[in-house]
Amino acid sequence: MSSRSSSSSAREVELQKEAKRHEVALDELSCLSSSRSVYQKNGNLFFLTTAKKVKIDAEKQLDHAKSELAKIRSQTR
């Protein structure tokens, strides 16, 4: 196994974990009222915002992780 394929497979595993975390976050957020105040972590700080805004951000991050995962999978084939 080459180091390139092992690093891409490690990256693929990390992206799968990241996507799963975002899916769980979206499921949790969907149980809340969209106007409910929640804390969102940004770096080492937490900011108070609405569940709707956090859900939109989580959806964007999930889409990005899935597109990166698709890129990696298409390169290994």
Query: Which range marks the domain in which residue 57 is found?
Result: 3-76
Query: What is the structure's pLDDT at 9?
Result: 83
Here the CATH number for the domain that contains residue 11 is: 1.10.287.370
Number of domains in the chain: 1
Mean per-residue pLDDT of the chain? 89
Is residue 76 classed as helix, strand or coil in its secondary structure? Answer: coil
Residue segments in the chain with a per-residue pLDDT below the cut of 50: 1
Q: Which tokens sit at 49?
A: 């915002």
Query: What is the structure's pLDDT at 34?
Result: 83
Query: What is the structure's pLDDT at 8?
Result: 73
Distances (CA, A) of 71 to 9, 32, 42, 76: 12, 33, 27, 9
pTM exceeds cut of 0.85: no
Q: How far apart are CA 13 and CA 65, in angstroms?
A: 11
